[in-house]
Amino acid sequence: MENFLQQLINALTLGSIYGLIAIGYTMVFGIIGMVNFAHGDVFMLAAFIALLIFLALTQLLGLASLPIAFLIVLVVAMVLTALWSWAIERVAYRPLRGSFRLAPLISAIGMSIFLSNFVQVVQGPRNKPVPPMFTDFVRLTDGPLSVALSYKQMLIMAVTAVLLVGLWFVVQKTALGRAQRACEQDRRMAALLGIDVNRTISLTFVIGAALAAVAGVLYMMYYGVVNFADGFVPGVKAFTAAVLGGIGSIPGAVIGGLLIGLIETFWSAYFSSDYKDVAAFSILAVVLIFMPSGLLGRPDVEKV
């Protein structure tokens, strides 16, 4: 029982991170129908930016207070990653809008290869051990197998919850959100009604990247190590989450993320941690084959 509870906490933590990345996939797919293959690498880039800012703050500027440093890192990483993603969209995807359907996907794959190798070249191929942060924890039960909830895990869940509420507000209540939903339904009609479609798409990339940046910061803090190759597998898993929840649906992405977190954690805990990636990839295949519209997605009807 204790083990189960502990795994549940771990799973929700991991699931929150996947959910944050998955939102970026799902929003971009919803609005331009493209799998943004480089999104996982944007997440990895964010983790590196966060690490470098954190080191600069603590070592070069001598900032002692950890919470303040963390807050600054979070904000700066979000802004810079959003800028990167904006630039990527502008350079690599926008010229291909309206081109044949494989072109943006290939371009995104190229971008993904570029980003991971760029980070490898400029920051070195070795694992970067991050200085430990927020190491305290709360014991929820006493006993030989106690259940512990660490401050890190609380922070991850709290940050995720706050961001999701913020995102819900943006999408449902603001002009930008309305424009996004309109573009999702019918881009040409939205343009006729005076919506700046290109700007809306850019902002979708920006929002997705900012959320991925938060995921990157949390990932770096939680696991205490980052590597240039860390973008691919979490990226595919987050994409699985987006598909599982129904691609195009933001609540679906979050639910999918939590489910993938649960499945992966319990699979590692009770079966085999070597094959945990196989579990995630198999779910992706099974969901796409048997339930292509996911849990909350709209079924995709092809009109002739």
Partner 1 sequence: MPLSLAHALKQAAIAGLLALGLAFPILALRSDQDMNNRLIVETRWSWAIGAALAIFALRLIGLYLQHWRANRPQSVRSNEARKDYGTPLAWAGLIILFAFPFVILSLLGPQGALKWINNYGIQILIYVMLGWGLNIVVGLAGLLDLGYVAFYAVGAYSYALLSTTYGLSFWICLPLAGLLAAFWGILLGFPVLRLRGDYLAIVTLAFGEIIRVVLINWIEFSNGSAGISSIPRVTFFGLPFTAGEGGFAALFGLEFSPIHRVMFLYFLILCLALITNVVTLRMRNLPIGRAWEALREDEIACRSLGINTVNTKLTAFALGAMFGGFAGSFFAVRQNFVSPESFTFIESATILAIVVLGGMGSQIGVAIAAVLMIGGTEVLRELDVLKAIFGEGFDPAQYRMLVFGLGMVVMMIWKPRGLISTRTPTIFHMKRRAVSSDLVKEGHA
Nearer to partner 1, 57 or 254 (CB): 57
Q: Contact with partner 1 (CB under 8 A): which of 223, 281, 291, 295? A: 281
Evaluate whether 294 touches 243 at the Cβ level (below 8 Å).
Answer: yes
d(CA 1, CA 184) in angstroms, rounded, equals: 45
Site membership for partner 1, residue 44 (CB under 8 A) = no
Distances (CA, A) of 52 to 9, 144, 155, 161, 187: 29, 39, 21, 26, 39
Angle between helices 250-270 and 232-245 (to 10 degrees): 120
DSSP per position, 164-193: HHHHHHHHHHSHHHHHHHHHHH-HHHHHHT
> For partner 1, how many residues bind (rule: CB under 8 A)?
68
Site membership for partner 1, residue 129 (CB under 8 A) = yes
Q: Contact with partner 1 (CB under 8 A): which of 107, 160, 180, 249? A: 107
**Where in 224-263 is the site for partner 1 (CB under 8 A)?**
232, 236, 239, 243
Evaluate whether 299 touches 249 at the Cβ level (below 8 Å).
Answer: no
Site membership for partner 1, residue 87 (CB under 8 A) = yes
Closest CA to 233 of 288, 280, 287, 283: 280
Nearer to partner 1, 125 or 166 (CB): 125
Binding footprint of partner 1 on the chain (CB under 8 A): 33-35, 45, 48-49, 51-53, 55-56, 59-60, 76, 80, 83-84, 87, 91-92, 95-96, 99-107, 109-115, 117-124, 126, 128-131, 232, 236, 239, 243, 274-275, 277-278, 281-282, 284-285, 288-289, 292, 302, 304
